[in-house]
């Protein structure tokens, strides 16, 4: 029975939610700190790292490539339409390149990985929690952070920028195909315009974003899996929470990083 | 000459989750080389007891002593090395799905003890021999094994590094009576041959009689009876009698 007067109960609920947010933020921060330490300090598990590189990177190539190709193509069409309203269709290659490298390449690659990898991390680690495999690691003198979390975090931070390079190239190529096949752009001029316009910072800023998104994806997947409880239902809940929180943090992080990059 | 301290001791151990305390004040000890079985109803906190002792769960108050030394007062380095002195057979086996049977058994040797994979595999195969798992099975994955075989592999994994203390969490749960008896016999045989200290929890009275030198009964968050395994049928304790006879 609550001792809070009825009119104040909504405030109590707001306060409880706020405290939960603060508690969770603190727990995630501690988890992230331990994960970073586990990446930085030995012992390392190269076999686990290699396994994650393949799972996170190589197996994500098709989905990232396809997403980038279609996005680049659609972006080209939209910019062509918008540019046509003030007779500026010719800037389409430059805008496509800028949009892909600075924004859509890293964000879309990250979102695809949030769906594919963050969910997989949460489900796998959550299932290990439910079946006491994480406790078993402790009893086998192995720190779960070093064995489970560190290889995933390192792999995601390393691989997402590489996937973003692939997404950048394929995305720009998608725009090029549409421009040259359906909008009568000259193929060579399109490529030259793109190349001359792009600055190295456009690409590098996208890659920095990608590395940060990689950390977000790995940490959200691992955090929710590691702290799951309640058997199969808990694993399902952890998976959903991992994807949703990763996606939200990717968008929030994207805005923050873009703000920082715009003012530097 | 002073008497040697118990190998493992719970001293006034208390633990609470949400709600009433699970363990109120547990006092229990097991001598080196002995096999102690903890019995009790569902939800009485038996698993919590061994998880606290194995360092998998923090306690709220009280002490865990190993060879008379309070674990909490140990230097950090010594505390970090404690898991190397333990082995544990989990209720569901807790084998790593992504590793083959021999890699599961050799896990500690490879990842914590720095043994080469080749040497570790040889030792894992020997451990599998001891629990009557044929060498062809060594390359299988846990999902390809029956529940009984998973328990045997878990037993081999718990014992391969010759631990000083082994914890068994419901070793016969989910097994048919024949397989359960075989696992009990294996546990008894292996614990005696290694000369280690064993702490088991089980609901299975036959299992407790078979693997335990002593039995302790946990109820209401405290140990209500403790005695030789042979005395369980005439304990003189109403709660134990109720448990033994299955009285509602």
Q: What is the pLDDT of residues B125-159, one digit of tens each?
A: 999 998 989 999 999 999 999 999 999 999 999 99
Does the residue A98 lie in any domain? yes
Residue of chain A minimizing CA distance to B92: A131
Tell me which residues of chain A have a pLDDT lower than 70. 1-2
Inform me whether the pLDDT recorded for B212 exceeds 70.
Answer: yes
User: How confident is the model at residue A2, as a pLDDT?
Assistant: 54
Interface of A with B (CB under 8 A): 43, 45, 51, 128, 131-133, 135-136, 138-142, 147
Q: Domain containing B135: what range?
A: 8-245
Rounded Cα–Cα distance for residues A207 and A107 (Å):
10
Inform me whether the pLDDT recorded for B223 exceeds 60.
Answer: yes
Domain count, chain A: 1
Does the residue A34 lie in any domain? no
Rounded Cα–Cα distance for residues B129 and B229 (Å):
29
Query: How many CB atoms are located within 10 Å of the residue B115 CB?
Result: 18
Q: Whose CA is closest to B10, among B86, B70, B64, B82?
A: B64
pLDDT tens profile B45-81: 999 999 999 999 999 999 999 999 999 999 988 988 8
Does the residue B231 lie in any domain? yes
Domain count, chain B: 1
Rounded Cα–Cα distance for residues A138 and A132 (Å):
10
Averaged pLDDT, B183-200: 91
Phi, psi angles (nearest 5°) of residue A3: -90, 0
Q: What is the mean pLDDT of chain B?
A: 92
User: How confident is the model at residue B41, as a pLDDT?
Assistant: 87
Q: Domain containing A82: what range?
A: 45-262
Q: A178 is written with which tokens?
A: 């549409």
User: How confident is the model at residue B1, as a pLDDT?
Assistant: 46
Q: Between vectors from CA B92 to CA B85 and to CA B88, what angle results, nearest 5°?
A: 5
User: How confident is the model at residue B42, as a pLDDT?
Assistant: 87
Rounded Cα–Cα distance for residues A79 and A99 (Å):
10
Question: Considering only CB atoms, which chain B residues are within 8 Å of A142?
Answer: 107-108, 111-112
Does the residue A29 lie in any domain? no
User: How confident is the model at residue B2, as a pLDDT?
Assistant: 53
8 Å CB contact of B90 and A140:
no
Inform me whether the pLDDT recorded for B5 exceeds 90.
Answer: no
Q: What is the mean pLDDT of chain A?
A: 95
The CATH number of whichever domain residue B178 belongs to comes to 3.40.50.300
Which one of B80, B83, B91, B124 makes the best mutation probe of the A interface by having the most chain A beta carbons within 10 Å?
A: B83
Does the residue A4 lie in any domain? no
Contact assessment for residue A63 and residue A109, using Cβ atoms and an 8 Å cutoff: no
CB burial of residue A44 (10 Å; 0-12, 13-18, 19+): middle
Does the residue A12 lie in any domain? no
User: How confident is the model at residue B240, as a pLDDT?
Assistant: 87
Q: B208 is written with which tokens?
A: 């407790």
Does the residue A167 lie in any domain? yes
pLDDT tens profile B73-129: 999 889 888 999 999 999 999 999 999 999 999 999 999 999 999 999 999 999 999
Radius of gyration of chain A (CA): 22
Does the residue A160 lie in any domain? yes
DSSP bridge partners of B86: B165
Does the residue B2 lie in any domain? no
ipTM: 0.91
Q: B109 is written with which tokens?
A: 């040797």
Does the residue A38 lie in any domain? no
Is B87 at the interface with chain A, CB within 8 A? Answer: yes
Buried residues in B15-37 as b, exposed as e (16+ CB within 10 A): beeeeeebbeebebbbbeebbbb
8 Å CB contact of B108 and A138:
no
């Amino acid at each position: 029975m609550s001792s809070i007067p009825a009119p104040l109960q909504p405030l109590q609920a707001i306060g409880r939610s706020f405290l939960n947010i603060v508690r969770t933020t603190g727990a995630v921060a501690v988890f992230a700190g331990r994960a970073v330490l586990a990446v930085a300090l030995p012992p390392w598990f190269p076999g686990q790292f290699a396994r994650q590189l393949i799972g996170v990177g190589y197996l994500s190539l098709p989905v990232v490539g396809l997403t980038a190709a279609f996005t680049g193509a659609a972006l080209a069409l939209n910019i062509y339409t918008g540019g046509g309203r003030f007779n500026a269709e010719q800037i389409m290659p430059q805008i496509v390149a800028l949009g892909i490298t600075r924004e859509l390449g890293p964000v879309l690659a990250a979102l695809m990985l949030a769906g594919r990898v963050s969910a997989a991390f949460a489900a796998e680690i959550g299932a290990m929690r439910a079946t006491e495999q994480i406790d078993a690691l402790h009893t086998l003198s192995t720190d779960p952070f070093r064995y489970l979390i560190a290889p995933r975090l390192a792999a995601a931070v390393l691989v997402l920028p590489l996937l973003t390079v692939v997404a950048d190239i394929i995305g720009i190529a998608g725009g090029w195909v549409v421009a040259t096949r359906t909008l009568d752009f000259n193929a060579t001029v399109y490529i030259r315009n793109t190349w001359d316009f792009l600055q190295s910072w456009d690409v590098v800023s996208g890659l920095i974003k990608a590395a940060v998104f990689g950390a977000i994806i790995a940490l959200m997947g691992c955090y929710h899996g590691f702290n799951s409880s309640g058997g199969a239902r808990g694993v399902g809940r952890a998976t959903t929470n991992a994807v949703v929180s990763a996606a939200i943090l990717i968008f929030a992080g994207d805005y923050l990083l873009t703000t920082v990059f715009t003012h530097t | 000459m002073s008497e040697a301290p118990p190998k493992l001791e719970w001293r006034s151990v208390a633990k609470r989750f949400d709600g009433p305390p699970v363990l109120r004040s547990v006092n229990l000890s097991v001598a080196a080389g002995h096999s102690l079985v903890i019995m009790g109803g569902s939800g009485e906190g038996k698993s919590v007891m061994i998880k606290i002792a194995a360092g998998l769960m923090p306690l709220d108050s009280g002490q865990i002593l190993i060879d008379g030394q309070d674990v909490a007062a140990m230097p950090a380095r010594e505390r970090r090395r404690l898991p190397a002195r333990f082995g544990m057979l989990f209720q569901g086996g807790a084998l790593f799905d992504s590793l083959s049977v021999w890699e599961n058994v050799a896990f500690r040797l490879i990842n914590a003890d720095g043994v080469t994979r080749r040497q570790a595999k040889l030792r894992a195969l020997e451990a599998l021999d001891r629990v009557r798992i044929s060498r062809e099975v060594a390359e299988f994955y846990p999902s390809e094994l029956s529940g009984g075989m998973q328990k045997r592999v878990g037993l081999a994994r718990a014992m391969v590094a010759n631990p000083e203390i082994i914890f068994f969490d419901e070793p016969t749960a989910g097994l048919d009576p024949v397989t359960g008896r075989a696992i009990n016999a294996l546990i008894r045989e292996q614990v005696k041959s290694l000369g280690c200290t064993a702490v088991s929890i089980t609901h299975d009275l036959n299992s407790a009689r078979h693997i335990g030198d002593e039995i302790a009964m946990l109820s209401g968050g405290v140990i209500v009876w403790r005695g030789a395994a042979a005395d369980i049928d005439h304990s003189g304790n109403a709660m134990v009698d109720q448990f033994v006879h299955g009285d509602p």
